[in-house]
Amino acid sequence: MAFPESLITTISPEKPQSPTHTKEKDAEQLNTNGEPSTSEDEFVEGGLRGWLVVLGCFIISAVTLGWGLVWGVFQVYYKQHNMLPGVSDAMLSFLGCMQSGVMTIASFVFGKLGDRYGYKPFIALGSCISIAATLGAAFSTKLWQFIITQGILQGLCIGMVFPMIVSYPAQWFCRRRALASGVIVAGSSVGGGAASLILRVMLSSLSFRLSMSVYTAINAALLLIAFFLVKGRGPERRVTSIEWIDRSQFKDLTFWSTAACYLICTFGFLPPAIYISPYTVEKIPDINNQLAIAPIAVLNFSAAIGRTIVGLSADRVGPLNALIATTFIAGLSQLLIWQFAYSFWLIMIFAVVCGAFVGCFISLVAPVAAQLFGTQKLATITGLLVLFNLPGNLAGSPLLGTLLEKYNWHAAISFSGGMQVLGGICAMYARFKREPRLFARY
């Protein structure tokens, strides 16, 4: 995901933050006219209008990104009703994570285009594609049709809107920017949790086509409201040309350490959300449909709270420290809790712990990039780091599905949790290369 270059953080753009970094160097912000300000105290907070913008971005995040977090509901439904006969679990998992792969590439491209041509046109276009994708899925019956609607089109719409909605807080907030950003990113988890519950109820009582049609109408109404809530502050500051790749970072081992973290830990990101429902059904065969879907809803709601809290905590402990800690906790929760969760309540405990931490590396990518490399080319560097998510987004869940079919749940879960822990280990080089003090904020 490429963040528009008007995204201004609290770190000096001239150079990476050093241990002697002071609050005076943190002061460069945007004032109400969209121009740089020399002091954080001069920045005028967005007030009620700013929070309405955050609300609009939250709704867009819930409707578009949240849709990708309910695939476990569809995977169970497709198998139980034999909607795609002959399709393996690995293929269903690939279908579920395809949108994340498309989103990764699309975010990089449309984030750059948003820098150049403005944000709101892409929000409008992405919202229309989201509605078309959801409605198209209602009338899909073949695998290739679901690949287009629930894979390619859904990923394309997320790639269009996400770089735009995460950029608006920088225009409206300074002191509460981390909170505003955390709320927007948490919208995806709230949307995923709500969607999983609503869809389970509708799919249990209505046909698949009618359920998807009703849900499309709900999404369309929400996206229309959100479109009118979202607004930029002051005149747009558009770039005159697009720099697609900054090759100067390729010579920096710190960059490769961070890139390796994002490459590896992504393999353990989607499997819990996609497989927790099938796992619950298999381990507790007599569980009813409503309780079977409860873990994925809890995981998503926990993620909403966790991402908000971690976003605020990163301002205190440092984004690199937060990145390493959250990836370790997310990985260990899979290795030590999910591995041995044979009862419903242990599965729910795992959903709470893992949900709170497993996706935090995504919301931390921009602060981490700014901490290590400054903000002068934040959009380019962030886009490069997010591109490293592509292999894990596409192959993580299918690999786990293959391990599950060939071996067992222990092998599959060990792979997923182990990749998260290994990703955190990779980030430690960047952390201690730039700041060798163990307990320093970095």
Amino acid at 82: N
By C-alpha distance, which of 121, 119, 124 is closest to 232?
119
Structure tokens at 182: 């955390």
Question: Model pTM?
Answer: 0.73
Cα–Cα distances in Å, from 244 out to 78, 107, 333?
A: 40, 12, 37
Q: Kindly tell me if the per-residue pLDDT of 211 is higher than 80.
A: yes
d(Cα 113, Cα 37) in Å, to the nearest integer?
26
Report d(CA 379, CA 359) in Å as an integer: 20
Could you tell me which of 339, 313, 338 has the C-alpha nearest to residue 326? Answer: 313
Other residues' Cβ atoms within 10 Å of the Cβ of residue 318:
20
Give the pLDDT score at 60.
94
Which is nearest to 389 in space by CA: 96, 64, 104, 2?
104
- What is the Cα–Cα distance from 78 to 80, expressed in whole angstroms? 6
Confidence of residue 41 (pLDDT cuts 50, 70, 90): low
Element (H or E) spanning 31, and its range? Answer: none
Measured distance CA(185)–CA(161) in Å, rounded: 12
- DSSP single-letter state for residue 147: I
Q: Give residue 425's pLDDT.
A: 96
pLDDT computed for residue 265 by the predictor: 93
Q: Is the pLDDT of residue 326 over 80?
A: yes
Question: Across 49-160, where does the E strand assignment appear?
Answer: none
Assess whether pLDDT exceeds 90 at residue 179: no
| Span 358-411, pLDDT tens digits | 988 887 887 788 788 875 566 567 777 888 988 988 888 888 888 988 899 999
- Choose the most confident range, by mean pLDDT, from 22-36, 247-261, 322-336: 322-336
Q: For position 22, what pLDDT does the model report?
A: 41
- Give the helix, strand, coil percentages of the chain, each rounded to 5: 75, 0, 25
H/E stretch holding 375: none
Higher pLDDT, residue 364 or 154: 154
- Which pLDDT tens digit goes with each residue over 124-141? 999 999 999 999 999 999
Q: Which residue has the higher pLDDT, 242 or 432?
A: 432
Cα angle: 110, vertex 46, 175; to 5 degrees? 90
pLDDT exceeds cutoff 90 at 33:
no
Q: Which of 330, 346, 194, 325 is nearest to 271 (CA)?
A: 330
pLDDT at residue 314 in the model: 80
**pLDDT tens digits for 266-311?**
999 988 988 898 899 899 988 887 788 789 889 988 988 888 888 7
Compute the chain's Rg from CA coordinates: 21
